[in-house]
Chains A and B, each alone.
Chain A
Amino acid sequence: MIILNLLNRIFGHRGSLSRDEISSYQKKKNTHDIEEKSLSDDFDSDAIDGWTDSGIPIEEMSSLDEMFQSKYNSSVWSSSTILFFTLFFIVSGVILTFTYTSNQHDETQLVEVKENRQPNTIIPIDAIEHSTSEEDKVINSLETISKEKEVQPSSLKRIASTSDSDKSDTIQNTPIDQVTVTISPEVQSNIPVEENRNTLVYHFVDEFYLHDFKLIDYRKFRDAPIKKRKLVPAGTPADQEYYESEDQEDFVWKDIDISYVDYLDETMSYFEKSNYKKALKRCNVILTTYEDDINAHFYGGLCYYNLGQYEKAITHFEKSYNLEFGNFRQEAIWFKAKALIEMTELEKAKQLLQQIASENKFYAKEASSLLQKLK
Chain B
Amino acid sequence: MKRSKRKYQKISDNELASYFKDNSSNELLSEIYLRFGHLMMGTCLKYLKNKEEAEDTVMELFEVLPQKLQKHTVEHFKSWLYMTTKNACLMRLRKKNIPSQEIDERIHAAPEEINTKFLEEEKYSTLEEAVENLKEEQKTAVRLFYFKRQSYQEISKNMNLPIKKVKSAIQNGKRNLKLKLEKNDNFKSA
Residues of A within 8 A of B (CB): 1-4, 6-13, 16-19, 22, 31-32, 35-36, 39, 41-51, 53-54, 56, 58, 60-61, 63-65, 67-68, 71-78, 80-81, 83-84, 122, 154, 159-160, 162-163, 241-242, 245, 248-249
A-side contacts of B114, CB under 8 Å:
7-8, 11-12
Known: A7-B114, A67-B59, A71-B59. A56 touches B152 (CB 8 A): no
Q: Which residues of A contact B1 (CB under 8 A)?
A: 245
**Which listed residue (A3, A31, A81, A162) contacts B152, Cβ 8 A?**
A31
Main secondary structure of the interface of A (DSSP, over half): helix
Q: Which residues of chain A are within 8 angstroms of B43 by Cβ–Cβ distance?
A: 43, 46-47, 50
Closest residue of chain A to B40 (Cβ to Cβ) is: A47
* Closest residue of B by beta carbon distance from A88: B4
The one of B25, B59, B150 in contact with A68, judged by C-beta atoms closer than 8 angstroms, is: B59
- The interface residues of chain B lying within 8 Å CB-to-CB of A163 are 143, 147-148
Given A39-B171, A47-B43, answer yes or no on A72-B4 (Cβ-Cβ < 8 Å): no
- Verify A64–B37 contact, CB threshold 8 A: yes
Interchain CB contact (< 8 A) of A31 among B26, B121, B151? B151
A72 touches B62 (CB 8 A): yes
* Residues of B92-125 contacting chain A, CB below 8 A: 109, 111-114, 118-119, 121, 123-124
Q: How far is the CA of A1 from the CA of B79 in the complex (A)?
A: 30
Residues on the A chain within 8 Å of B81, using CB: 43
Chain B residues 19-46 with CB under 8 Å of chain A are: 25-27, 29-31, 33-46
Bin the interface of chain B by size: 35 or more
Choose among A41, A63, A67, A76 the residue that contacts B34 (Cβ–Cβ < 8 A).
A76
Interface centre among B2, B34, B38 (most CB of A within 10 A): B38
Question: Can you pick out 21 interface pairs between chain A and chain B where the beta carbons lie within 8 Å of each other?
Answer: A3-B124, A3-B127, A4-B121, A6-B127, A7-B119, A12-B114, A13-B113, A17-B39, A35-B145, A42-B82, A43-B43, A43-B79, A64-B55, A68-B62, A72-B26, A72-B29, A74-B29, A75-B2, A75-B25, A80-B2, A83-B4
Give B119-138 as 1s and 0s: 1 = Cβ < 8 Å from A's Cβ atoms.
10101100100000000000
4 additional contacts, CB 8 Å, given A50-B54, A248-B4? Answer: A11-B114, A72-B62, A74-B27, A245-B1
A18 to B82, CA, bound (A): 16
List B contacts of A31 (CB < 8 A): 151-153
Evaluate contact between B3 and A74: CB separation under 8 angstroms: no
Measured CB to CB, the closest approach of chain B to A98, in angstroms, equals 24
List of A residues within 8 angstroms of B121 by Cβ: 1-4
The dominant DSSP class at the B interface is helix
Alpha-carbon distance A345/B59, docked complex (angstroms):
60
Inside 8 A of B6's CB, which chain A residues have their CB? 76
Nearest residue, chain A, Cβ from B109: A42
> Which single member of B26, B47, B123, B187 contacts A75 (CB below 8 Å)?
B26
Contact A39 B109 (CB under 8 A): no
Q: Mark B149-189, 1 if CB is under 8 A from A, else 0.
A: 11111100000000000000011001001100000000100
| Nearest CB of A to B132, in Å | 12
B56 (CB) vs chain A CBs: closest residue: A67
CB–CB A4/B119 < 8 A: yes
Nearest 3 CB-CB pairs, A to B? A47-B42, A50-B46, A50-B45
Is the CB of B51 closer than 8 A to any CB of chain A?
yes
Asked whether A46 and B86 contact (CB < 8 A) given A78-B2, A80-B4, A163-B148, the answer is yes
- Chain B contacts of A53 at CB under 8 A? 45-46, 49
A162 lies within 8 A of B147 (CB): yes
B55 touches A154 (CB 8 A): no
Distance A315 CA – B51 CA, assembled complex (angstroms): 51
A54 contact set on B, CB distance < 8 A: 45-46, 49, 51
Report yes or no: A22 in contact with B171, Cβ–Cβ below 8 A.
no
Given contacts A6-B127, A22-B42, contact A75 B86 (CB under 8 A): no
Assembly CA distance A51 to B143 (angstroms): 26
In the bound assembly, the distance between CA atoms of A205 and B47 in angstroms comes to 56
Evaluate contact between B55 and A67: CB separation under 8 angstroms: yes
| Complex contacts, A58 vs chain B, CB 8 Å | 38
| Nearest Cβ on chain B to A134's Cβ, whole angstroms | 36
Q: Which residues of A contact B40 (CB under 8 A)?
A: 47
